Amino acid sequence: MIGRLQGDVVEKHPPYLLLDVQGVGYELEAPMSTFYELPGCGENVVLYTHLLVREDAQTLYAFRHVQDRSLFRNLLKVNGVGAKIALVILSGMDVRAFTECVQRGDVDALMRLPGVGRRTAERLIVDMRNRMEDGASLQAVGESRHGSTSVHNPVGDAVSALVSLGYKPGDASRMVSEVDTENRSSEDIIRLALKTRLA
């Protein structure tokens, strides 16, 4: 199991990134909460990882904080929740916000995330509340999220990332068009679009 990587950021195309670790390029998939905190291309970063092995693929997921990875792993244990939904959740809210959602039983807040219907939201609240009561670690992440500069078309990258998160292309374009994109990185645009959508 690969649990941690340290290397230089080579490419950022949310939700995918390429990390150079001593000459070996690792293709990683990450939630937007991680992209918000990535340094610029060419800079060094430490990421916590989770390797998911299926019959047809082996995917390495990356997280800026160990708490994010812990939540991701707990979400995968919930019946009907796969890696895609887990990434959507971590892209739409941080660990603290998700924990508060579960504690309040806020089904509506979870349903604002793409791909999360009422049944899934209710199941998440019940299962994750039980895990927290059983002592599962879902510590809140207190650090702020910082964007970084994208070397690609920030608006186009933002729309593509939102589509990858489950939004329809038309909805993704509309979400991006409703925020101020001038002089912003794709990560900042996505963050603003998600914040507006989930408000």
pLDDT digits (tens, 9 = 90+) for 107-153: 999 999 998 999 999 999 998 887 765 544 444 333 333 333 334 57
pLDDT confidence of residue 34: 95
pLDDT confidence of residue 36: 92
Distance in angstroms (rounded) separating the CA atoms of residues 120 and 134: 21
Residue closest to 90 by CA, chosen among 118, 65, 107, 71: 71
Distance in angstroms (rounded) separating the CA atoms of residues 127 and 62: 24
Number of H helices and E strands in the chain, helices first, is: 9, 5
Q: Are 145 and 191 in contact (CB under 8 A)?
A: yes
- Sign of the torsion angle spanned by Cα atoms 112, 170, 17, 189: negative
pLDDT confidence of residue 172: 82
pLDDT by 10s per residue, the chain, length 199? 789 999 999 999 999 999 999 999 999 999 999 999 999 999 999 999 999 998 888 999 999 999 999 999 999 999 889 999 999 999 999 888 898 899 889 999 999 999 899 999 999 999 888 776 554 444 433 333 333 333 457 888 888 888 878 887 778 888 888 888 888 888 889 989 888 877 6
Distance in angstroms (rounded) separating the CA atoms of residues 75 and 92: 14
Q: Give residue 154's Cα distance to chain centre.
A: 18
Instruction: For Cα atoms 136, 141, 147, give the angle at the middle one, nearest 5 degrees.
Output: 140
- Sign of the torsion angle spanned by Cα atoms 185, 16, 124, 107: positive
Distance in angstroms (rounded) separating the CA atoms of residues 173 and 169: 6
- The answer, yes or no, to whether the previous bond of 31 is cis (omega within 30 of 0) is no
Report the DSSP beta bridge partners of residue 28: 17
Distance in angstroms (rounded) separating the CA atoms of residues 26 and 7: 9
Residues whose CB is less than 8 angstroms from the CB of residue 79 and which lie 6 or more positions away in sequence, other chains included: 123, 127
